[in-house]
Amino acid sequence: MSQVSERLAALSPSETLAMSQKSNELKAQGIDVINLSVGEPDFFTPDFIKEAAKKAIDDNFSFYAPVPGFLPLRNAIVSKLKKENNLDYKPEQIVCSNGAKQAVCNVLLCIINPGDEVIVPAPYWVSYVEMVKLAEGRNVIVSADIEQDFKITPAQLEAAVTPRTKAFILCSPSNPTGSVYSKEELKGLADVLARYPDIIIIADEIYEHINYIGKHESIAQFENIRERVVIVNGVSKAYAMTGWRLGWIAAPQWIASACNKLQGQYTSSPGNIAQKAAEAAYLGPQDCVETMRQAFERRRNLIVQLASDIPGLKVRQPKGAFYLFPDCSYYIGKSFNGNKINNSADLAMYLLEEGHVAAVGGLAFGAPNCIRFSYATSDENLIEAMARVKKALSVLQ
Ligand SMILES: Cc1ncc(COP(=O)(O)O)c(C=O)c1O
């Protein structure tokens, strides 16, 4: 008998992790699956960061740390925000967590009352909507399709605001679309938000450094909303450190204090060794970040070229992150051996079972016509994977 809470029963499991697991199962059966479902760099963590972690072990960083993270780490984040983003924060406004994932969840749990509305642009990162549910809030989805480069307009944002709107979540560069809002586009959204002083803006900037159009622009730069913006970031994507689990927020003091309080009763600080590694990442040489960015850009160019050659796929060039998010609606409704492809989740399953390529159907991201391929893998894998996808799609009727 299962007695899980209603809160848990309302949650959907992560589709991304499910596809990855299914792909591993097929691999375990000896099937050569190419996994383009995971959202992580395929690079190893740079050596100087690993050395800092080894030193932290030898230096006995084995005791409880302050809940929001060691002060030198928070100072390093403050310096990063000043140097890279020209934003001023105090270390008390920084709270480090077990990944940006926990950081987003902390903020939502700290500000949402039951029934409060959170505006989430779609396509969205799968976890936002589940976290809002966990906080007993209501998701208000604002959709932007491929024709508008998956970016919502100020008018769309304004139309979604109600007296119950508590927060707005913006992800740029975006998972799953790879879209990046320009400074002018961000200003347009900020000008709308400036008219609604009770809305908290959660700016997920975890893909900040994986940007192919130039300097990262943060919505926190606009003075008219600045005091209500929570920046979410971390070391997972920029420094190839997904498994270290270190993310953070830079927030108005009351939100940072609230997250500190919540985390103090829940998980305490993130692991010390990861904290020391992250401190080294921020203070050390940054050329590793640029080297990885260039590799992602080259792969982006490759996958765009390969996917554009597949009939029926509508491809838009991503401007950041490491995902391709083509519209695959041409194939929805088609069949294979009498089995109908009803949606993009079915299509992803078909590509896995028949093409041996793992991707994630767009349904999970609030975009049922699209499918997500992660291109954080080798050129050879990308070439082979896209050849398999092309072949598998060509036999659908
Ligand atoms: C948009 C977005 N935000 C946050 C995260 C979480 O990152 P972390 O590994 O720091 O928890 C991810 C990871 O996939 C992501 O894609």
What is the C-alpha to C-alpha distance for residues 143 and 124, in angstroms, rounded to an integer? 9
Low-confidence ranges of the chain (pLDDT < 50): none
How remote is the CA of residue 9 from the centroid of ligand 1, in Å? 23
User: From ligand 1's centre to the CA of 323, what distance in Å?
Assistant: 13
* pTM of the complete model: 0.96
Rounded Cα distance, 175 and 122, in Å: 10
Expressed in angstroms and rounded, the spacing between residue 116 Cα and the centre of ligand 1 is 24
pLDDT, residue 338, reads 87
Report the C-alpha gap between 116 and 255 in whole angstroms: 17
| Calpha distance 397→389 (Å, rounded) | 15
Nearest CA to ligand 1 atom 14: 39
> What's residue 387's pLDDT?
98
pLDDT at 71: 98
Q: Are 226 and 250 in contact (CB under 8 A)?
A: no
Q: What kind and span of H or E run contains 140?
A: strand 138-143
pLDDT tens for each residue of 182-241: 999 999 999 999 999 999 999 999 999 999 999 999 999 999 999 999 999 999 999 999
pLDDT for 381 = 97
Find the residues whose C-beta lies inside 6 A of ligand 1. 39, 99-101, 125, 171, 175, 204, 206, 234, 236, 242, 247
Cα 30 to averaged position of ligand 1 atoms, centre (Å) = 30
Nearest Cα to 372, choosing from 315, 333, 331, 319?
315
- The Å distance, Cα 312 to ligand 1 centre, comes to 30
**Six token digits for residue 310:** 């597949």
Choose the residue to mutate in 235, 237, 374 for probing ligand 1, maximizing ligand atoms within 8 Å of C-beta. 237
Q: Domains of the chain by range and CATH?
A: 6-44+288-394 (3.90.1150.10), 60-283 (3.40.640.10)
A 10 A CB-CB count for 109 gives 18
Closest by CA position to 350, among listed 389, 310, 384: 389
CB atoms within 10 A of CB 234: 30
**pLDDT at position 55:** 98
13: number of Cβ within 10 Å: 11
- Indicate which atom in ligand 1 lies nearest the CA of residue 100: 10
Q: Cα–Cα distances in Å, from 337 out to 41, 131, 352? A: 36, 39, 16
Q: How far is ligand 1, taken at its centre, from the CA of residue 207, in Å?
A: 8
Euclidean distance between the first and the last CA atom of the chain, given in angstroms as a whole number: 43
Helical segments of the chain, H only: 6-9, 15-28, 47-58, 71-85, 99-111, 126-134, 154-160, 183-194, 253-266, 272-283, 287-308, 344-355, 379-394
Measured distance CA(254)–CA(266) in Å, rounded: 18
* Contacts (Cβ under 8 Å, ≥6 apart) of 144: 121, 122, 123, 150, 151, 152, 153, 156
Q: What CA–CA distance (Å, rounded) separates 126 from 37? A: 13
Backbone angles phi, psi at 88, to 5 degrees: -100, 120
- Atom of ligand 1 lying closest to residue 234 CA: 10
Q: To test the ligand 1 pocket, which listed residue (127, 208, 360) has its Cβ within 8 A of the most ligand atoms?
A: 127
The pLDDT tens digits for 168-183 are 999 999 999 999 999 9
